[in-house]
Structures are given as C-alpha cells and as structure tokens.
Amino acid sequence: MSTLVFYSEFDSFEEWSALLAPHLPGVTICRAETVQHPDEVHYALAWKPPRGFFAPWRNLRLLVNLGAGVDSLVGRDDLPDIPIVRLSDPDMARMMAGYVLFAVLRYARDIPAFERAQREQRWHYLHPRPPSAIRVGVLGLGELGAYAAQELARQGFDVRGWSRSQKALAGIRCHSGLGSLNDFLSQSDILVTMLPLTPQTTGLLSAERLAHLPPGAAFINVSRGAIVDQAALTQALRAGQIAQATLDVFDREPLPPDDPLWGMENVLITPHLASVALPASAAAQVAENIRRAARGEPVTNQVFPERGY
Ligand code: GLV
C-alpha cells in the first residue's frame, strides 16, 4: 500500500483528493494528521509545508509542489533527497495571462484616471493610445511569461521579453542576459515581472535598476516580491518616477497592515492570487507523475534545486 500526504493552507484537500483518487487506485490520500502508517507515505503533494513536515515520512519517493513557483521549497534545508516536480499547467498559465492582460490593459486604457474622475464626477476625456505605441516589457519568459507575452502581442502591444538565456518567440522581441537588462528596462513603458525567485533574481530590481524605467512607467509584479527592492519601489512610486503599480506579490506576505503601499492611490494590491493551482486541470498530471514514480520511471516537470526552478 502507498499513501499520498497532502498539505496546503490555501487549496482544498477535498477537491484534490476527489479528483486524484480515480487516477490512483491503491493509494490512500490523506492529510498529515490522519496518516496511519508513516512508512507507507511514498508521495507528498504540498504547498509551503511547515519546517519539519517531511521528517516522519522516511520512504518518500516523490514531492509534488502544489504550485508553479518552487522558491519556498528549494531553499530549505529539511528537504528529502528525492525528485521534486512542480505544476506546469496550461490552464494555470492562461489564468496568469488573464491577470497580466487585465493589469496591462488597465494602464493602457487609462482606467485609473477614469476611476478617479468618476469619484470626482468629472467627465475626463483622454484620447486612447493605440496598443502598438505602448512598449510592454515582460521579465521572464518561462512557461507563464511566454504565454502572457504572446497574449499581450495578440492585443497589438509592442512586446519585448527578457530572460536569462536567449528565447525565440513569434511576435516578441527577445533579449537576454544581465548586460542587456538596463536597456530593456529603459524601453518598458509597462514592466511585467514574471521571473522565478532564485539566488540570481533576488533583489534583481534594485533602486539603481528601477531608475532605468522611463519616467512615468507602470510596474506589475505577479511572480515574487523579493525580486524587487520593495522600499525602493515604494519610494519611486511616491516620487512619481514609477507612476503606477499592480502588485500581487510582496517581500512579506501577508503585506503587513502598516505597509505604506496600502495607502497609495497609484497602487493596486491583490493578495497573491494572480494564478492558482487548478485541480480540475492539473490533477491528471499530478497523478501521472505519481504513477511514473511508482513504476520507477523518470518524472516530468522536475525541479532542479541547484538551478532554483
Ligand atoms: C504561486 O505563486 C505559484 O507559484 O504557484
């Protein structure tokens, strides 16, 4: 017999177990506190499990990260030495692209100015700009970044992408390497941060780098807060050097109640939900990886802790 142990503070155990069970006959699916035979726990499906979570499961064979980003796992020192896989789900990428599109269009169509004008009962005509006149820079062209960049290109924006290694994407001007980053920033009227958090990307958008954005740029972060120096971002937003920001992620989450970002009119805050794990579409791939691990076959969407993603 095998057991799959589940942990998440955000995702529904009932939903995941109901969808996984038909794919995994012979596997008991339960929460950590109801495990009967710890030595039979061969698989874990977990999002941000607490420290020490893995210690009782000495025969773990596969860890499935219940999300796309693995930064909260790969950095820790209590991980078992077993393959780790992450979700790689086109529906999750589409959900993320939907949020990015919303945030970019909101700036491209001057919606914050109209929201303000309406509060003041003011008819405020601003002639719409064509999307081709707006340069959108997407930082990070992994599965999620590439999908969002292509959706933006479909809307007619002038889309550029930046990644660590060179990518080729139809309709996107792709740049790569740290040497080109400042130039890339200086040509992004709207910057969308979609990089994974790794030792190389932590603090990448420092005060000095943010200063390369064109004056009045808009800033969108949907990946991880720690990629940007949040104090420097707050300062740039206060000074108007960055005119607007949509922030779904923060260096500390939940964002503390006394953080100055809460009170800023030019900032839209959402609580880290731009995209979430979708059981209906991802359960089949989770089950397939578990069956592969059970048969001793290579798994898909494996994470490489030394690389950080
Ligand atoms: C959410 O932030 C995820 O990484 O899945």
Please indicate, yes or no, whether residues 60 and 120 belong to a single structural domain of this protein.
Answer: no
DSSP assignment of 105-128 equals: HHHHTTHHHHHHHHHTT-----PP
The low-confidence residues of the chain, meaning pLDDT below 70, are: none
Quote the pLDDT of residue 218.
98
Same domain assignment for residues 102 and 78: no
Compute φ and ψ for 42, nearest 5 degrees: -105, -20
Instruction: List the one residue out of 197, 199, 200, 203 whose CA is nearest residue 223.
Output: 197
Same domain, 81 and 166: no
Q: Which atom of ligand 1 is nearest to the CA of 87?
A: 5
Per the domain annotation, does 308 fall within a domain?
no
SS3 164: coil
Strand partners, 29: 4
CATH code, domain with 15: 3.40.50.720
Please report which helix (H) or strand (E) contains residue 302, including its range.
none
Per the structure, the count of domains in the chain is 2
**Under 8 Å between Cβ of 86 and 301:** yes
Tell whether 46 and 177 lie within a shared domain: no
How far, CA to CA in Å, does 281 sit from each of 93, 95, 106, 188, 301? 11, 12, 28, 34, 15
Query: What is the atom index within ligand 1 of the atom nearest the CA of 71?
Result: 4
Atom of ligand 1 nearest to the CA of 70: 4
In a domain, 111, yes or no: yes
Domain match, 243 and 110 both: yes
Going by C-alpha positions, the residue among 295, 278, 294, 286 that lies closest to residue 22 is 286
Q: Is 68 in the pocket of ligand 1 (CB under 6 A)?
A: yes
Residue bearing the CA closest to ligand 1, atom 4: 69
Query: Collapsing DSSP states into helix, strand and coil, what is residue 8?
Result: coil
pLDDT of residue 75: 82
| Structure tokens given for 132 | 């081709």
One domain, residues 24 and 101: no
Rounded Cα distance, 173 and 131, in Å: 16
Nearest to 196 by CA among 140, 278, 253, 248: 140
> Quick one: pLDDT at residue 138?
98
Measured from the CB, is residue 69 less than 6 Å from ligand 1?
yes
Distance CA 97, CA 274 (A): 9
User: Burial, 170: exposed, middle or buried (Cβ in 10 Å; 0-12, 13-18, 19+)?
Assistant: exposed
Residues 27 and 173 in one domain: no
| Residue to mutate (ligand 1; options 8, 147, 275, 285; most atoms within 8 A of CB) | 275
- 67 touches ligand 1 (CB under 6 Å): yes
Q: Which strand (E) or helix (H) includes residue 162?
A: strand 158-163
Measured in angstroms, how far is the CA atom of residue 156 from the centroid of ligand 1? 28
Say yes or no: 78 and 226 in one domain. Answer: no
User: Same domain, yes or no, for 178 and 227?
Assistant: yes
Ligand 1 centroid–CA 132 distance in Å is 30
Instruction: With H, G, I as helix, E, B as strand and everything else as coil, classify residue 30.
Output: strand
Hey, how many other C-beta atoms are within 10 angstroms of the C-beta on 61? 18
On whether residue 210 sits in a domain, the answer given is: yes
Same domain? For 60 and 99 the reply is no
| 309 within some domain | no
Reading the block at residue 52, the tokens are 């020490």
Predicted confidence at residue 59, as pLDDT, reads 97
pLDDT at position 98 is 98
Q: Is residue 45 part of a domain?
A: yes
The rounded Å distance from CA 159 to ligand 1 centre is 24
Q: Same domain, yes or no, for 83 and 202?
A: no
Crossing angle (nearest 10°) for helices 111-119 and 90-108: 60
Name the residue range of residue 97's domain.
90-269
In a domain, 159, yes or no: yes
d(C-alpha 222, C-alpha 273), whole Å: 9
Mark whether 208 and 149 lie in a shared domain: yes
The answer to the question of residue 175 being in a domain is: yes
Whether the CB-CB separation of 267 and 247 falls below 8 Å is answered with yes
Backbone angle region of 171, left / alpha / beta, with phi > 0 → left and psi within -120 to 50 → alpha? left
Q: Which residues form the catalytic set?
A: 224, 272
Going by alpha carbons, the residue nearest to atom 2 of ligand 1 is 69
Q: pLDDT of 23-36, one tens digit each?
A: 999 999 999 999 99
Which atom of ligand 1 is found nearest the CA of 277?
5
- CA 278–ligand 1 middle distance (angstroms): 11
pLDDT value of residue 306: 79
